[in-house]
């Protein structure tokens, strides 16, 4: 009885309550991030085969000097750059339009634009593969056929492969980014816009001097998760080619290369080195963009 009362006193204590509430997050963070990260670092210096684990030093790191690996990095860089160029400015503009009271049916568009993210990547990738099929009856070939062109082998050309993947990303994530920017817009005080209107500021000047600067934290967040999403892309390319083998590595991504080496070829140690390299690339890029936006700038005392 005394032990039970002691436990209740501990959990109802004002000093212990914060630690009790934060404990689930700490446990999840340690189990699903810290422990796998430490295991990945250790396995990147090992040869991990069924029933055989041995340290091999930097051999896995040296194996990263592989043309396929650099091709995967190039593909991810181009894909990420293209998605950032589209999934940052356009959702911001659309969010401003949907946030305006003059927009008719804005609640409908908010809901409709969010629907694509509810669709499975497997289903979306299959649909896009059928749309951009090689047969003359594919939807994309029928459209270009109206202008006397085609049929094209869309998934066999480097430029069109990027186009398909970026279109798929924009279709799925535009609505989500719009909601992020809408939440940021709704946190901007209306008094700022009213004061600007009294001073005779135009809509463009309001956007430039009020909306854009006030959306900086939201923009940094969307940019950060978009960079991560660009480098973590795998299933879209996998479904576009129905496997992890695209012609001349046009659809190969870093995650796809990791999957091929780590699971298809059963080389977990080398796959861990690839994953560790991917983590460093994403971390460096995000730290650079956070520094560029002044997130680490020292506050004036």
pLDDT tens per residue across span 18-65: 777 888 899 999 999 899 889 989 998 988 877 788 888 888 888 888
Distance, in Å, from the CA atom of 56 to the CA atom of 10, rounded to the nearest integer, reads: 49
Number of separate domains in the chain: 1
Distance, in Å, from the CA atom of 248 to the CA atom of 153, rounded to the nearest integer, reads: 14
pLDDT (tens digit per residue) in 239-287 = 888 888 888 888 899 999 999 988 888 888 899 999 999 999 999 998 8
Whether residue 75 has pLDDT greater than 90: yes
Higher pLDDT, 208 or 13: 208
Q: Contact 261/274 with Cβ under 8 angstroms?
A: yes
* Domain span at 208: 67-115+173-292
Q: Report the pLDDT averaged over residues 124-146.
A: 89
Closest CA to 182 of 96, 260, 59: 96
Q: Report the pLDDT averaged over residues 80-101.
A: 90
Taking every pair of C-alpha atoms in the chain, what is the biggest distance, in angstroms? Answer: 87
**Angle made by CA atoms 274, 85, 72, in degrees to the nearest 5:** 20
Higher pLDDT, 160 or 9: 160
- Residue 120 domain-assigned (yes or no): no
- Residue 148 domain-assigned (yes or no): no
Q: Which two tokens stand for residue 181?
A: 């920017």
pLDDT (tens digit per residue) in 222-238 = 999 999 999 999 988 99
The model's pTM is 0.86
- Residue 259 domain-assigned (yes or no): yes
φ, ψ of residue 151 in degrees (nearest 5): -75, 150
Average pLDDT, the chain: 86
Contacts within 8 Å (CB) and 24+ apart, 71-74 = 71/249, 71/252, 72/249, 72/252, 72/253, 72/254, 72/256, 72/257, 73/254, 73/281
Query: What pLDDT score does 265 carry?
Result: 84
Q: Report the pLDDT averaged over residues 158-175.
A: 90
- Residue 93 domain-assigned (yes or no): yes
The CATH code of the domain that includes 111 is: 1.10.3720.10
Name every residue whose Cβ is closer than 8 Å to that of residue 113 and which is 6 or more positions away in sequence.
94, 174, 175, 178
- Residue 249 domain-assigned (yes or no): yes
Q: Report the pLDDT averaged over residues 77-95.
A: 93
- Residue 76 domain-assigned (yes or no): yes
Q: How far from 83 is each of 44, 47, 88, 124, CA to CA, in Å? A: 31, 36, 8, 17
- Residue 151 domain-assigned (yes or no): no
- Residue 44 domain-assigned (yes or no): no
């Amino acid at each position: 009885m005394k032990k039970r009362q002691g436990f209740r006193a501990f959990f109802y204590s004002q000093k212990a309550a914060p630690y009790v509430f934060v404990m689930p997050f700490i446990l999840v963070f340690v189990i699903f991030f810290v422990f796998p990260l430490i295991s990945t670092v250790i396995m990147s210096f090992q040869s991990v085969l069924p029933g055989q684990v041995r340290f091999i030093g930097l051999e896995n790191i040296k194996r990263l000097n592989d043309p396929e690996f650099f091709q995967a990095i190039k593909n991810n860089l181009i894909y990420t750059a293209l998605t950032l160029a589209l999934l940052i400015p356009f959702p911001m503009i659309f969010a401003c339009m949907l946030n305006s009271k003059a927009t008719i049916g804005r609640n409908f568009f908010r809901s409709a634009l969010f629907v694509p993210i509810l669709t499975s990547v497997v289903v979306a990738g299959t649909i896009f593969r059928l749309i951009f099929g090689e047969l003359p009856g594919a939807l994309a070939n029928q459209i270009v056929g109206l202008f006397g062109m085609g049929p094209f082998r869309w998934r066999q050309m480097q430029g069109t492969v990027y186009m398909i993947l970026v279109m798929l990303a924009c279709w799925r994530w535009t609505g989500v980014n719009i909601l992020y920017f809408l939440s940021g817009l709704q946190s901007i005080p209306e008094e700022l816009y009213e004061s600007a209107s009294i001073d005779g500021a135009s809509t463009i000047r309001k956007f430039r001097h009020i909306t854009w600067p006030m959306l900086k934290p939201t923009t940094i967040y969307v940019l950060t998760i978009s960079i991560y999403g660009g480098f973590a892309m795998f299933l879209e390319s996998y479904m576009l080619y129905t496997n992890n083998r695209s012609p001349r590595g046009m659809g190969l991504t870093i995650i796809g290369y990791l999957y091929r080496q780590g699971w298809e070829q059963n080389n977990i140690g080398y796959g861990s080195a690839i994953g560790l390299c991917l983590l460093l690339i994403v971390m460096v890029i995000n730290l650079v963009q956070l520094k560029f936006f002044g997130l680490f700038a020292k506050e004036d005392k």
